[in-house]
Amino acid sequence: MRDKRVRAVHPERSRRVLVYPELRRAARRKKRIYMGPIGGVLIAALALAMAAAPRPDGAEPQATLPRAAPEMADKTAGEFFDNIQVLQDTPAYQLLPLMRLINLSLGVSCEHCHDAEDRSLDIEDAKETARSMMTMVMDLNNNSFAGQPTMTCYSCHRGALAPVAQAILPGPDDEIVTEERPPAATSYPTADQILAKYVEALGGEQALRAVTSRVITATGDLPAELRNEPRVTARIEHYQKAPSFDLTVTRLPAGIVSTGFDGQAAWLQDAQGAVTQLTGVELGRARRDADFYQSVNLQQAYMRFVIGGIEQVNNRDAYVVIGLPRGDAPERLYFDVQTGLLLRRQTVLPTPLGNSPMNVDYEQYRDVGDGTKYPFLIRTTSTTQRHIVRIERVQNNAPIENSRFARPASRP
């Protein structure tokens, strides 16, 4: 007999009124919000935007990795879901981000491979083709690229169902390259210079360190489900205190979701009151994120930096600084060439089929009244979702008791 509990929370199952069964079940009782940036990248799906928001001194925080519902904890996809034939050993919480990565890479919806009423059924021919392609990609990376996620579905598909199978010929007015030309020599500022300009653009180290706590209130335009539509409005409160205390409370129509770091441990509490403690890479990201003076301490947060050239971010030229944190995937920081301010942070969630990216864009920097600046518009984009946070008020040096950041007891 099929496990009814697993079927009830199976995120690939039937969708009638709501897209996923955990949300359909929630319509019959209190709706459940599943925890799970920046990670990651992806979860705390309904609280992600603020969880990935910059620090009060303007430093860019870490995006939390996608988190599982409590039932998924420490389970593989093969243990938690039905009829998993290729990704059996993948952590269960990675399966949905991985599926979204395939959606984006091929430009298709879930129903291209899955039956709309029961995701576990093998009805569509495309599902068997997808299994073969996933096996091919994993074998290629394991055997030819030392297990690194170098090749992905996107490497060939580029957002289209049919992969690019032949070279694209130059047009009648395009140049035909007959010999290799060395790239033009380009001089960029050093990482130290870019980071120093960033600190000055935020108000300078002295002004930043004069702030020891902050309370931020905001409004969030967030997805109500695991896809981008429909959307809901959330009220967000973000509390931070030096040296490394952090708490985000997101009030949604379905309930309250909280994420916190108490100086040692990081935790997530869903709308039902269940608390999950972060470990491993997730804990490392939360610890970096909780550094109240992260903008000043970026050199300590990463082992080293690599300059990746200049790219466009929202029609502005930005220096790309690739930061290499210890024990985690590289992160890309984009600093405005003119102003020095951080425009974008890109983090990834590693999956067996490649890295699932997430961008956090920072806009509308304003002086908050003491000479320091903060972005009042924060947009987080993952493979299938966008979260928009509009800051309403920033209170510097607001009194906050340390007890506010204590991990709450998990409610049954």
pLDDT at residue 236, rounded to an integer: 97
Q: For residue 50, what is the domain's CATH number? A: 2.50.20.10
pLDDT at residue 215, rounded to an integer: 97
> Cβ(202)–Cβ(58) under 8 Å?
yes
- Residue 291 domain-assigned (yes or no): yes
- Residue 204 domain-assigned (yes or no): yes
> Cβ(270)–Cβ(254) under 8 Å?
no
Query: Range of 220's domain?
Result: 1-162+191-403
Per DSSP, 121 falls in state -
- Residue 168 domain-assigned (yes or no): no
Strands 316-324 and 304-313: antiparallel
CA distances from 224 to 92, 102, 117, 255, 356 (A): 22, 22, 21, 12, 21
Element (H, E) at 252: strand 245-252
Q: Locate tokens 């491979």: which residue?
A: 113
pLDDT at residue 119, rounded to an integer: 87
> Cβ(273)–Cβ(407) under 8 Å?
no
- Residue 177 domain-assigned (yes or no): no
Per-10-residue mean pLDDT of the chain, 412 residues long, equals: 34 30 32 27 34 39 43 81 92 84 91 90 92 94 88 92 88 86 86 97 97 97 81 96 96 92 94 88 89 94 94 97 92 98 92 88 96 96 90 96 94 78
Sequence-ordered list of residues with C-beta below 8 angstroms from that of 267, at least 6 positions apart, any chain = 259, 260, 261, 275, 276, 277, 278, 407, 408
Instruction: Tell me the residue type at 282.
Output: E
- Residue 176 domain-assigned (yes or no): no
pLDDT at residue 6, rounded to an integer: 35
| Nearest by Cα to 86 from 74, 99, 100 | 99
- Residue 410 domain-assigned (yes or no): no
> What distance in Å separates the CA atoms of residue 75 and residue 80, rounded to the nearest whole number?
6
pLDDT at residue 138, rounded to an integer: 92
What would the pLDDT profile of 254-279 be if each residue is shown by its tens digit? Answer: 899 999 999 999 999 988 899 988 88
| Nearest by Cα to 10 from 92, 88, 90 | 92
- Residue 347 domain-assigned (yes or no): yes
Number of structural domains the chain divides into? 1
What would the pLDDT profile of 140-168 be if each residue is shown by its tens digit? Answer: 999 999 888 888 999 999 999 998 888 88
- Residue 377 domain-assigned (yes or no): yes
Question: Please, is 211 exposed, middle or buried when counting C-beta atoms within 10 Å of its C-beta (0-12, 13-18, 19+)?
Answer: buried
> What distance in Å separates the CA atoms of residue 270 and residue 259, rounded to the nearest whole number?
9
What would the pLDDT profile of 102-131 be if each residue is shown by its tens digit? Answer: 998 999 988 999 988 898 899 889 999 999
- Which two tokens mark 33? 């919000």
Per DSSP, 27 falls in state H
